[in-house]
């Protein structure tokens, strides 16, 4: 089966007597999935690229793509029949699976949307209407993290600021060494942002921040929100499903969104938006008004005009894929975490740098400090370095520029040369990654250092 087929360096390097491969219990399908089957499923990935950026655009195995094509074909074959007899059932099935995965009470609480960006528009439009219709007072605020995803920040600008709301930004420490640091900073930020007579109408908190990437103690942060009088909380968990366990009841937020095409093997694109039941009656609408306008959001989300719904219909195929792995989704998540931390440490050791957060605050991604001698001095430098690595070394990895925080005591972490660490690479680990991907990255950076390369040397076209 797969016991002897372990050609992954990574597997050999750290299995250490832990036997993760058991023989198949079910004779018909070969379970768990073997290494060569995994390679086969992702054989469409470009060869020669160390693809260590699953976080940005996700990935989709061949068997799920195949299922998607079947759905697309069914629509093209007889679209009227598909629309009248097949579509809503298929979408309901997907929503039901998600409900089970995230421990929601009722499938009515689950809507399918394109992506987290769309979900943000839905929630923020509703907040905007609160201002426009004077249910909220001018100056009432929306709280967000300093490192919130840029698209979300723009959405707040478009729907909240424009409508007369104000925005409070809370900065979280990075690098970070414990969840208590995050909790303290968040509480402080909320208290500082309070103004007499003004209400916190909404807080937007990431479950796993994007750049720099850290797993936040979201349950604790939601509690703090309640303590500080925040009316409603929206958790932007774009990266969560397939990375960390999700229990929306435990987390307690009114809204929770996660993309299924990032870490849950669905094709682009599909995300779920969870809305606590009583919120549904409060006028939640998809930004594109639809035939069923006026009804609940979930029904409306099933039909936003003629489009390709196939990515929403393959959730159960993704589930089937996941269950071919040892330990199913939990097994995948545990191994991704273990492997990405190990590779992160390997890189940090080789370069004499650091990790941006402790293992318990990582899921399938970790921030690895880049050597100071590369002279990453701006966001532009980071972007250019990323392109440079892609073009010249076949390494795909996003780079974050960490400006020195005003709040920081001292002047931030330093590398083995004593220089300030200003750049971090966000490495991802997904089931298709092998140790060689990370060695390639390690060696690329070491070569750049040897050549005394700095970001200044990259000219923009």
Which position among 34, 125, 209, 312 is part of the footprint of another protein (CB under 8 A)? Answer: 125
* 187, 135 Cβ separation under 8 angstroms: no
Which position among 33, 63, 75, 424 is part of the footprint of another protein (CB under 8 A)? Answer: 75
CB-nearer residue toward another protein: 46 or 452: 46
Residue 461 found at the interface with another protein (CB under 8 A): no
d(CA 79, CA 48): 40
Residue 396 found at the interface with another protein (CB under 8 A): yes
**How many other β-carbons are positioned within 10 Å of the β-carbon of residue 106?**
11
- Counting residues that bind another protein (by CB under 8 A) gives 66
Residue 308 found at the interface with another protein (CB under 8 A): yes
For residues 127-146, which are near another protein according to CB under 8 A? Answer: 132
CB of 42 to another protein, least distance (A): 9
> How would you classify the pairing of strands 395-396 and 50-51?
parallel
> How would you classify the pairing of strands 399-401 and 423-428?
antiparallel
Nearest to 174 by CA among 137, 144, 215: 215
Site mask, another protein, residues 280-299, x = CB under 8 A? -----x-xxxxx-xx-----
CB of 83 to another protein, least distance (A): 7
Residue 261 found at the interface with another protein (CB under 8 A): yes
Residue 111 found at the interface with another protein (CB under 8 A): no
CB of 427 to another protein, least distance (A): 14
CB of 336 to another protein, least distance (A): 18
Torsions phi, psi for 134 (to 5 deg): 55, 25
- Give the sign of the dihedral formed by CA 30, CA 33, CA 35, CA 37: positive
Q: List beta partners, residue 166.
A: 141
Residue 268 found at the interface with another protein (CB under 8 A): yes
Residue 458 found at the interface with another protein (CB under 8 A): no
Torsions phi, psi for 203 (to 5 deg): -115, 135
Which position among 36, 66, 157, 378 is part of the footprint of another protein (CB under 8 A)? Answer: 157
Number of helices (H) and strands (E) in the chain: give both, helices first: 19, 12
**How many other β-carbons are positioned within 10 Å of the β-carbon of residue 348?**
21
Which own/partner contact pairs does 251-256 have at CB distance under 8 Å and 24+ positions apart? 251/207, 251/218, 251/219, 251/222, 252/219, 252/222, 252/223, 252/226, 253/205, 253/218, 253/222, 254/279, 255/119, 255/123, 255/279, 256/102, 256/207
Site mask, another protein, residues 169-208, x = CB under 8 A? ----------------------------------------
Q: Can you give the binding site for another protein, defined by CB under 8 A?
A: 44-46, 49, 51, 53, 56-60, 65, 69, 72-73, 75-81, 83-84, 114-118, 120-121, 124-125, 132, 150-151, 154-155, 157-159, 162-163, 259, 261, 267-269, 285, 287-291, 293-294, 304-308, 311, 387, 390, 396, 398
């Amino acid at each position: 089966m797969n016991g002897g087929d372990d050609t992954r360096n990574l597997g050999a390097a750290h299995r250490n007597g832990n036997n993760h491969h058991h023989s198949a219990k079910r004779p018909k399908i070969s379970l768990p999935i073997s290494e060569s089957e995994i390679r086969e499923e992702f054989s469409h990935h470009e060869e020669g690229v160390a693809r260590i950026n699953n976080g940005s655009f996700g990935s989709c195995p061949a068997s799920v793509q195949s299922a998607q094509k079947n759905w697309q074909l069914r629509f093209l074959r007889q679209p009227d029949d598909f629309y009248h007899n097949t579509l809503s059932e298929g979408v309901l099935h997907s929503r039901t699976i998600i409900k089970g995965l995230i421990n929601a009470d009722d499938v009515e609480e689950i809507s399918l949307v394109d992506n987290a960006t769309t979900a943000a528009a839905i929630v923020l439009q509703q907040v905007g209407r609160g201002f426009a219709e004077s249910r909220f007072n001018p100056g009432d605020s929306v709280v967000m993290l300093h490192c919130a995803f840029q698209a979300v920040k723009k959405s707040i600008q478009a729907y909240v600021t424009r409508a007369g709301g104000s925005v409070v930004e809370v900065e979280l420490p990075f690098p970070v060494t414990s969840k208590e640091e995050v909790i303290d900073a968040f509480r402080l930020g909320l208290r500082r942002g309070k103004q007499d007579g003004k209400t916190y109408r909404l807080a937007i908190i990431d479950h796993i921040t994007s750049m720099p990437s850290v797993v936040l103690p979201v349950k604790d942060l939601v509690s703090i929100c309640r303590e500080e009088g925040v009316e409603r909380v929206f958790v932007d968990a774009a990266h969560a499903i397939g990375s960390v366990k999700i229990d929306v009841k435990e987390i307690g937020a009114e809204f929770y969104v996660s993309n299924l095409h990032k870490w849950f093997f669905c094709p682009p694109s599909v995300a779920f938006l969870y809305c606590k039941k009583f919120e549904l009656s409060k006028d939640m609408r998809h930004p594109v008004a639809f035939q069923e306008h006026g009804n609940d959001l979930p029904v409306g989300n099933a039909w936003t005009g003629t489009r390709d719904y196939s990515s929403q219909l393959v959730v159960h195929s993704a589930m089937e894929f996941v269950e071919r792995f040892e330990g199913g989704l939990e097994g995948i998540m545990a191994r991704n975490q273990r492997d990405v931390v190990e590779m992160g440490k390997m890189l940090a050791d080789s370069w004499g740098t650091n990790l941006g957060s402790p293992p318990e605050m990582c899921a399938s991604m970790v921030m690895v400090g880049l050597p100071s001698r590369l002279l990453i001095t701006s966001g532009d430098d980071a972007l250019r370095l990323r392109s440079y690595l892609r073009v010249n070394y076949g390494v795909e990895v996003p780079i974050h520029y960490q400006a020195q925080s005003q709040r920081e005591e001292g002047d931030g972490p330093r590398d083995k040369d004593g220089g300030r660490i200003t750049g971090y690479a966000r490495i991802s680990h997904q089931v298709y990654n092998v140790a060689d991907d990370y060695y390639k990255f390690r060696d690329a950076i070491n070569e750049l250092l040897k050549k005394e390369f700095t970001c200044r040397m990259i000219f923009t076209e």
